[in-house]
Amino acid sequence: LRPGRRGVRVVRGDVMAVTAWRVLHELRHPAPAKRQGHTHAVGPRLEGPIQVPPLGLAEQSATGVPGQRVQVDDDDWGPHLPTVDDYRRALRWGSSMVVSSAGVVEVHRPRGLLARMKARVALLWRYDALHQERIAALEQRRGERFTRHLEGMGFEHGTRAYGVTGFLPYLLSTSGNTLLHLGIMLGLFWGLMYGANVWLRTKVMLHRRRLGVVLGGWGTRGKSGTERIKAGMLSGAGVPYVSKTTGCEAMILHGPRGGRVHEIFLFRPFDKATIWEQADVVRFAATSGARAMIWECMALNPRYVDILQRGWMRDDMSTLTNAYPDHEDVMGPTGMDVAHVIGSFSPAGSPVFTAEENMFPVLHAEARRFGSLCTALTPAEKELIPTELIARFPYAEHPANIALAARVSTELGLPRVEAIGWMADHVIPDLGALMVYPEVDVDGRKVVFVNGHSANDELSFTHSWRHTGFAAHRVAQSPETWLVGVVNNRADRVPRSRVFARMVVRVT
């Protein structure tokens, strides 16, 4: 607070400006590790004679800049003990006042012009040392040592404690909160949060009951493509549906009865998904006239998987594409742990089908734990799909994913071959689906673009590399043919970027 033209002016926070002691400090302490392109000569400006410092807002540990509020052992930076700036403030305004929860401390400047000049020079030259002395006094709980030192420079101190007139007036005051009041507020807050959670959960369950069939899917790789060809199958069968899938972009596929399928982008703040996104999609599916819902699980935490599958969705049928090591920081640390988490997606009392072979015993055991039966696809189901049907797909879909969706169609009572044809004819490819585009002529060069951005792990990348024929390319035999690769990874996937860097070196 400081005097103004029309009374007292209140200034909130520290107002920074170039100060002499900061300039002197930087000249006396040069260092190459300082922040580049930043002004280091600024410090708090002496705004007024009355200072009401915050109780917190202090640094956890000291930096190389003196004069900052630094917490000591008891998590307190000592707002009751005047700082070096408070003494500088007293020199400027004649006196300064520090108002804290412990009371009011008044600091009066030295008497006499010569004494004030000597004190000003001492504070300027020994600012850092006095700041360290204040911190040491707080750590030793001997703040009077610091004040006595400043009194030796001519400063004078005065303290005023807050008085309590009586217990009853304090108890009846609006500011005299007790632990009981705190407990009541915490209870009300907890009740509000719990009630909101119960209400949202109830709404999700009511919307779920309005859906005739719910088909879920998860796995390490290929889950988005599998859910999209399931959606194509329902489109061909004339079943109105809503499909939630992610892939390269989080999408909702809305397929009305006899109408055109629409892709709707899912907005994710800061590109992060939450389980409440699923609640919004279920509500949309129930209110849009859909009879079936297809959804891809994006939860990684086992608790969230349990909430989504057995708490909210309760699938009528689920598929697990595979169980490769991935997201070990949440589902791991081992590949076996990842398989256990993926297996926990099994719906209670409903069938689950998988194309996984290596980790199938783990998936089967997890399914039994929840009262479900996990069935693995036979080699014939995955390998004996007619090539004519596979060729009808607008992109290179993995036969195992087609076989999974075909098994679902069989369980729903749809003819297998006809269902695969519906998948190929009605599927909406993902943005990163493996697709070989027609050859184009650019400045006399023949260019073929292959999109395979959904292959974001080593196994999928290797499969796509071989499937497109790139693995068979030899520079010595075809020096006129150039392979140009573009690798795109998210900023938060540093380990995956390293994997792709190694793969690029290996294949080239």
What is the H or E stretch that residue 213 is in?
A: strand 213-218
Q: What is the model's pLDDT at position 476?
A: 86
Q: What is the model's pLDDT at position 283?
A: 95
Q: What is the model's pLDDT at position 349?
A: 92
Cβ contact 464:434 at 8 Å: yes
**Residue 159 Cα distances to 90, 106, 498, angstroms:** 15, 6, 63
Q: What is the model's pLDDT at position 489?
A: 79
Question: What burial class does residue 27 get, using C-beta atoms within 10 Å of its C-beta: 0-12 exposed, 13-18 middle, 19+ buried?
Answer: exposed
Q: What is the model's pLDDT at position 179?
A: 74
Q: Which residues pair with 214 in a beta bridge?
A: 293
Cβ contact 231:427 at 8 Å: yes
Which of 468, 465, 454 lies closest to 507, judged by CA? 465
The pTM score is 0.60
Which of 79, 77, 118, 131 lies closest to 101, judged by CA? 79
User: Per residue in 32-51, is it b (16+ CB within 10 Å) or e — as a string?
Assistant: eeeeeeeeeeebbebbbbbb
pLDDT in tens, the chain (508 residues): 777 777 888 888 888 888 888 888 888 888 877 777 778 888 888 778 888 888 888 888 888 788 888 888 666 788 888 999 999 999 998 999 998 877 899 999 999 999 999 999 999 999 999 999 998 888 888 888 899 999 999 999 988 877 656 656 655 555 555 678 778 888 999 999 999 999 999 999 999 999 999 999 999 888 999 999 999 999 999 999 999 998 778 899 999 988 889 999 988 887 777 888 999 999 999 999 999 999 999 888 999 999 999 999 999 999 999 998 888 888 888 989 999 999 999 999 999 999 999 999 999 999 999 999 999 999 999 999 999 999 999 988 889 999 999 999 999 999 999 999 999 999 998 887 888 888 999 988 999 999 888 777 777 788 888 888 888 888 888 888 998 988 887 776 777 788 888 888 887 7
Q: What is the model's pLDDT at position 212?
A: 94
| DSSP code at position 253 | E
Q: What is the model's pLDDT at position 508?
A: 72
* Angstrom distance (rounded) from CA 86 to CA 344: 62
CB count in 10 Å sphere of residue 430: 22
**Bond from prior residue into 361 cis (ω within 30 degrees of 0):** no
Q: What is the model's pLDDT at position 172?
A: 57
- 210-423 in CATH: which number? 3.40.1190.10
Every domain of the chain and the residues it spans: 2-160, 210-423, 435-507
The bridge status of strand 352-354 relative to strand 16-18 is unpaired
Q: What is the model's pLDDT at position 171?
A: 52
* Angstrom distance (rounded) from CA 295 to CA 298: 9
| DSSP code at position 470 | G
